[in-house]
Amino acid sequence: MAFSVPSPPPRGVEIIEEFRGVDLNSSPTVVEKNRSPEAPNMMRDVPGKVRKRQGYEEIAKYDARINGVHRLNDKLLIHAGTKLYLQNPEGDDTVLYSDMADGRSMGRQFGGKLFLFDGKKAICYGEFPIKETEETEEDEEDVEKEWKLVTLEEKAYIPTIIISRSPTGGGTTLDPINLIGRGFKESFLGTATDKVYQLTTDNLDADKLKIRKLVKAGEWTDLTEDKDFTVKRDTGEVTFTTAPGESPVKGMDNVEITAYKTRKGYADKINKCRIMTLFGVNGAIDRMFISGNPDNENYDWYCQINDGFYWGDLWYSVLGQDGSAVVGYSVINDRLAAHKSMAEEGRNIILRKGELSEDKASFPIVGTLIGRGALGEFGFGYLGSEPLFLTDQGVMAITATDITGEKYSQVRSFYINEVLTQEKTLADSFAFVWRDFYLLSMGTGRVYLLDGLQKSYERDTPYSSYQYECYYWENVPARVFWEDDEGRLCFGTATGQINRFFDNVTSQKSYNDNGVAIKARWDVPELSGKRFYENKTFRYISVILAAAIATGVDVWVQRKGLWHRLFESGARACYFDFSYINWEKINFSSDTTPRAIGQKIKVKKVDKARFSLRNEALNEPFGIYKIGFEYTESGKYKG
C-alpha cells in the first residue's frame, strides 16, 4: 500500500535591506517595512542603515537653567539664569553680566563682536579701546584694546542729525536719531555776531555739552561748558561768551554741538527685542534685523551698515497686522522673509529686498507667501540651503515651485507630525542644525530629527515635493543646543547642566548618558504575510548587526497585543579586543565586519506579528544592516 506524505507548506520570506526612519503617523499595520513605528534613540548611520545614537557626558554645572550658549571666535559665553559667564577651560568662569532676562537669548557675531538680545537689555561682547579716542580708521589697529561687555546704550553711535544750521534755526537734516543712544550732534554755520545758538530739541539731559569750533581747515578746538558757553536745557538754547564767528573755511560748518536727551521709549524699542538675523542690500549680511518686542509685535528694526550701535529711528518696518507678531526670519536668496505668528489671511510670510536709493538703503516689501504662521522664536534653521521653520502643523520649508516660480511653504515632517503636533511644549521647543540633521528639542527629553540626507516622496502630501526621513531620541533634556569648536554636539538643560555628546562612533564608552544605559530599539511593522487572512507561523529570523567589541540584540515579538521575548544574541556579533574585555560577552573572533545572527523561532497561529530589535545595555553600540524572516501560511485564521 502506498502512502502519500503531505508536503509542508511553502515558506514565505520577508527581507528588509534598507532602513529609512520612523513613521509615527500610521498604524503599525500599514507602516512600510523599511520604516519603524517605534524606534527611540535610533538614527541614520549611512543612508539606508540605522544605529543607536551616541551618549553624552556632563562637562559643567551652573546654578540656573541654561538660556543660551554663544560663541565668539574661541570664546564661549554661557547664559545661565540671569547671569552671563565667560567660560574658562582652566578654572572658574568669569561673570560678565548679572542682569540678563531669565529666558532664552539670541546672539550673532557681527562686525567682529557678539551681539546678544534677550528682551531686556541689548548687550555686546568684544574688544573695545581702553581709552575713548577720536582715532581714525587708519590707525585703529594701534589703539590698545580690552575684552569687555557693554550695553548698546553705553557705546551708542552719536549721529549728526542736522547740518548747515544757522544760529537761529533751519538747516538740512542728515542722519536719523539713534534709538539706542541719547547723544546727537548738530552742526552750525556761524555768523560774525550771534552768540545764542538754538538746538532743534529742548529738555536736554544733565550731561555736559561737548562743543568744538573750527579754527582753520582741519583743525578744531574744544570749548568748555560754564566757561566758554552756558546752556538752558529746558529750551535747548546755547549762549557763547564770545560769538564763534564766521567759518574760516567758506561754506563749511564751524560749530559742532553734541548734546544728550532721553526720549521716552526709544531705547526700549531695541532693548526689548528677542530675535535677530543678518541681512542687507542685495542679500549681504552687513546689517542686523531685530524684532520680538512685545510692545510692537509687528515691527522690526535694522542697524547701520556694519555698525550694531546705530539704530536710526526711521529704520524700521511695519509688517502686516498688529495682532500678528513677527516670530522669526529666513533668508531666501536675496530676500528676507519675516514669519508672522497668526493668520494674515493665509499669507504669513512677508518678503523684503534690500536696495539703494540715492545712496541710502531701504528694504521695501516685495510680496507675501502662503503658509502657516510660525510657532516659537527658536524653531528656525537651514537644512542644507533650505529654510525650515516650526508651525502648529509640523516643520515647514520655504521653497519655489517648479512651474510658476512662486514661493510658498511645504510640510517637511510628515512622518512625525501626528505625535509632534501633540507635544505640550511645542511652542517652547528649540531647533538646531547639526551636520545633516535638523534637531528639534521639546526640553522634556524628547528630540525629533529630520534627516537632510534622506528624502522621500510621500503621496499623502500632494502639496509638498518631498519629506525628510525622521527619528526621535529620548532622555536628551536639551533646552538649548550648540556645537563646540571640535564639531561635537552639546546641550544645556533646564537644571543647569552642560552636556556634550561623544563623537567616537566605534568606542564602547560613547554609548551611555552620563553613565546610564541608552535604551534603543527598532520595531519592524506588523508582518501579515502574503495572505493576511491565513494562519502564520514565523519559524526563523536573521539579523545582520554592525560588529563591535561588545554589542547584541534582544529580539521580542508582539502577538495578539502582548510582547514576549524570543531570544538574546549573546556575543555572536562581538569581536575581541584586549583594550576592552567584557567577560560576559567575550568572543575571540577578530572579524570586524557586520555579523549575521540567525535563530529558529516559533511564533504560530497568528494572523500577524510585530518584531522588536532592542539593545538597552550599557556601553554597547547597536547598528542594524539587514533583517530577514521565514514563515509559513496554512489554514484560515479564526482569531
Q: Which domains does the chain have, with CATH numbers?
A: 11-53+519-636 (2.60.120.260), 77-151 (no CATH), 160-260 (no CATH)
Residue 588 DSSP label = -
The number of beta carbons lying within 10 Å of the beta carbon of residue 4 is: 5
225 neighbors 239 (Cβ within 8 angstroms)? no
287 neighbors 302 (Cβ within 8 angstroms)? yes
Residues 6+ apart with CB under 8 A from 537: 602, 603, 604, 605, 606, 631, 632, 634
Per-residue pLDDT tens digits for 538-590: 999 999 998 877 888 999 999 888 999 998 876 555 454 545 545 455 454 54
Least confident of 138-152, 182-196, 530-544: 138-152
Residues 6+ apart with CB under 8 A from 631: 11, 12, 14, 527, 529, 536, 537, 538, 539
358 or 136: which leads in pLDDT: 358
Can you tell me the distance from the alpha carbon of 209 to that of 230, in angstroms, rounded to the nearest whole number? 9
pTM, entire model: 0.91
Can you tell me the distance from the alpha carbon of 373 to that of 555, in angstroms, rounded to the nearest whole number? 44
**pLDDT band at 633; cut points 50, 70, 90:** confident
What is the predicted pLDDT for the residue at 551?
86
Mean pLDDT of the 78-99 span: 94
Residue 138 in this model has a pLDDT that exceeds 60: no
Residue 233 DSSP label = T
What is the predicted pLDDT for the residue at 583?
45
Mean pLDDT of the 470-489 span: 97
The x, y and z cell numbers of residue 445, run together, are 527629553
Evaluate the CA torsion angle 558, 563, 566, 567 in order and state its sign: positive
Which among 620, 563, 624, 633 has a CA at the least distance from the CA of 597?
A: 624
Can you tell me the distance from the alpha carbon of 486 to that of 57, in angstroms, rounded to the nearest whole number? 15
Per-residue pLDDT tens digits for 242-293: 999 999 999 999 999 999 999 999 999 999 999 999 999 988 899 999 999 9
What is the predicted pLDDT for the residue at 370?
83
What is the predicted pLDDT for the residue at 404?
55
Least confident of 90-94, 225-229, 249-253, 379-383: 90-94
- Determine the 3-state secondary structure of 308 from DSSP: coil
What is the predicted pLDDT for the residue at 192?
94
The x, y and z cell numbers of residue 182, run together, are 541719547
Mean pLDDT of the 126-147 span: 73
CA 178 to chain centre: 29
- Please work out, in degrees rounded to the nearest 5, the angle formed at the alpha carbon of residue 506 by the alpha carbons of 500 and 507: 60
Amino acid at residue number 367? G
Evaluate the CA torsion angle 297, 298, 304, 307 in order and state its sign: positive
List the 94-97 sheet strands across, edge first: 66-72, 75-80, 83-86, 94-97
204 neighbors 177 (Cβ within 8 angstroms)? no
| Percentage of the chain exceeding pLDDT 90 | 75
Per-residue pLDDT tens digits for 320-378: 888 899 999 999 888 999 999 976 677 889 999 999 988 899 999 998 888 889 999 99
Can you tell me the distance from the alpha carbon of 568 to that of 142, in angstroms, rounded to the nearest whole number? 70
Least confident of 3-7, 68-72, 313-317, 610-614: 3-7
446 or 141: which leads in pLDDT: 446
**pLDDT band at 113; cut points 50, 70, 90:** very high
